[in-house]
Amino acid sequence: MEALRWSRFVLGAPLPSWSRARCWYSIALRVAGGPGKGVSVRGGRSSQNERPQRELETPRTEKMEVDQDWTSVYPAAAAFKPSSVPLPIRMGYPVRRGVPPEKYGNLELIKIPNFLHLTPVAIRKHCAGLKDFCTEWPHALDNEEKCLQHFPIEVDTVDYVSAGPSVRNPKARVVTLRIKLSSLNLDDHARKKLIKLAGERYSKGTDTLIITTDRYCNMRKLSNVDSQDLSS
């Protein structure tokens, strides 16, 4: 009866002034909780957020055989994986005049691009797979003069490998088109008019028209189309 009266007093009315400035806590040794969760114990070191430590597995490099197929380890371009590369690679700033940091936990090796997927064996496999889809080079085009005679237009592009958050390089969209005016079927009036319009893009010594597109196109494909439209 006394407990019921006390509960009504606590739930139905505000607490008295003598209990507002006090802190109430429990000193129980065990609290009911979910499975796998730790509990706080007086005098102990256990924590409720403590997680069981996971045992580290053996690195892949220690399981590799001597005749390991490297193309199955790095089949395509990927970041550096220290547990998959059986090489004692070190990179970074040496601390206290020592040696550079090892490969495990080394961010310098992860940031930079690598060419571990472009081994000679991998390149031979790629060439063998693409051979059935390639056209054989014409035997009649055995020198540079014949190539320029039948294919007068030259298109130059450059690919870049950048170490950064983006793999795109603004310089890769630049397209340079070269063509000799002697290979075009132009009369004297059309030739003089084209030379006048080209200005500095025409080289009189080599009789070559050079068109470079690098300003208004965001992609190399658009730059290539733009240069062909200007040449036509």
pLDDT (tens digit per residue) in 33-51: 555 444 445 555 555 667 7
Find all residues with CB under 8 Å of 149, minimum gap 6, and list them.
183
Count Cα neighbours of 137 within 13 Å in the Cβ-side half-sphere.
Answer: 5
Give the DSSP letter of residue 74: S
Q: pTM for this one?
A: 0.48
DSSP type of residue 172 = G
pLDDT, one tens digit per residue, over 114-133 is 889 999 999 999 999 999 99
DSSP helix/strand/coil, 210 = strand
Q: Please give the C-alpha separations between residue 111 and each of 47, 107, 126, 153, in angstroms, as whole numbers.
A: 37, 6, 26, 39
- In the chain, the amino acid numbered 142 is D
List domains and CATH numbers for the chain: 144-231 (3.30.160.20)
